[in-house]
Amino acid sequence: MGCDHFGLYAEFEISGVTQRMRWVNPGSFMMGSPEAELERDDDEFQHQVTITQGYWLADTACTQGLWEVVMGNNPSRFKGEDRPVESVSWQDVAGFLDRLNQQQPDPGLRLPTEAEWEYACRAGTETPFASGEQISTEQANYDGNYPYNDGPKGPYREETIEVKALAEGINTWGLHQMHGNVIEWCADWYGDYPEGEDEDPVGPPKGVLRGFRVLRGGSWVSGGRNLRSACRGIDDPGSRYLNIGFRLARGQNGR
């Protein structure tokens, strides 16, 4: 465990591959988007959420290097040890977590809840992006032909990039590329947000829309609007696409 200008971090290593985890303090935030936010979706009802316990969140999406030492294979289309693993389903990730936790002296690695994901992505901000009202292709990997809110266009890289490739793609809590590159699986089934305040939400007990799971963050194929902190992606838990990945979480004291 250590501390830097972002805060506390801890690391674990599997067969020479290291993953850093950032400590996220408990707190409250406004989840979803205000009605005035441009290009928002109808399922982003804004409501106050309280995260009552701190948790650990990986500072990057899971890399191909980590996936390969745990699973012995690499399903990704865009190969690179330090690129995010992609083309993995929610079910594939569940299998990865089972195997990874068997190799951990302190098990409990899991997917973040949707609320944990957005809380960490925002890093204390209330704007469409952790970077503010706008985002650029220097800050995130997405289709720069389709910027948010008529912003400046940028390149379309047409593939993933390394998880720490963008110097400007790190938020103030030390988390890389929460916007773009790969859209990330969350633990939750997809469902409507509650009407009032909520505490440590984990989503509905089962999928209410064709059994879909939640994805967050947008990806290299997304336009700028889909990278917003509040934007909710959904897909079948068996889906595998070239833009889908994930990042690890662990509860307080390994829970």
Structure tokens that stand for 135 in this block = 């985002």
The arithmetic mean of pLDDT across residues 47-60, rounded, is 98
pLDDT of 254 > 50? The answer is no
The pLDDT assigned to 209 comes to 67
Please report which confidence band the pLDDT of residue 252 belongs to, taking 50, 70 and 90 as the band edges.
low
The arithmetic mean of pLDDT across residues 145-163, rounded, is 97
Provide, rounded to the nearest whole percent, the portion of the chain with pLDDT above 90: 92
Structure tokens that stand for 131 in this block = 């970077």
The arithmetic mean of pLDDT across residues 191-212, rounded, is 87
Range of the domain at 228: 2-254
Q: How far apart are CA 254 and CA 78, in angstroms?
A: 32
Determine phi and psi for 222, rounding to 5 degrees: -85, 155
Taking phi over 0 as left and psi of -120 to 50 as alpha, with beta for the rest, 245 belongs to: beta
Please report which confidence band the pLDDT of residue 180 belongs to, taking 50, 70 and 90 as the band edges.
very high
The arithmetic mean of pLDDT across residues 53-57, rounded, is 97
- Of 207, 202, 209, the residue nearest 189 (C-alpha): 207
The arithmetic mean of pLDDT across residues 246-255, rounded, is 78
Contact indicator for 130, 178 with CB cutoff of 8 Å: yes
The arithmetic mean of pLDDT across residues 140-155, rounded, is 97
Q: How far is CA 55 from the centre of its chain?
A: 14
Lowest-confidence segment of 131-140, 188-197, 245-254 by average pLDDT = 245-254
Structure tokens that stand for 228 in this block = 């917003």
The pLDDT assigned to 232 comes to 98
Lowest-confidence segment of 38-42, 105-109, 119-123, 221-225 by average pLDDT = 105-109
Query: Mean pLDDT in the chain?
Result: 95
Lowest-confidence segment of 163-167, 200-204, 240-244 by average pLDDT = 200-204
Q: How far apart are CA 53 and CA 82, in angstroms?
A: 31
Number of independent structural domains in the chain: 1
pLDDT of 226 > 90? The answer is yes
Residue 48 host element (H or E): strand 47-51
Q: How far apart are CA 33 and CA 46, in angstroms?
A: 5
pLDDT of 146 > 50? The answer is yes
Q: How far apart are CA 152 and CA 170, in angstroms?
A: 20
In this prediction the pTM is 0.96
pLDDT tens-place string over residues 78-128: 999 999 999 999 999 999 999 999 998 778 999 999 999 999 999 999 999
The pLDDT assigned to 255 comes to 46
pLDDT tens-place string over residues 7-25: 999 999 999 999 999 999 9
User: Which ranges of the chain does DSSP label H, i.e. alpha helix?
Assistant: 64-71, 90-102, 114-122
The pLDDT assigned to 166 comes to 98
CATH number at residue 209: 3.90.1580.10
DSSP secondary structure letters along 133-182: S---TTTS-S-TTS-GGG--------S---TT--TT-B-TTS-B-SSSSS
Contact indicator for 152, 114 with CB cutoff of 8 Å: no
Q: How many degrees, rounded to 5, is the angle at CA 74 between CA 68 and CA 77?
A: 145
Q: How far is CA 12 from CA 18, 72, 117, 242, in A?
A: 6, 18, 21, 27
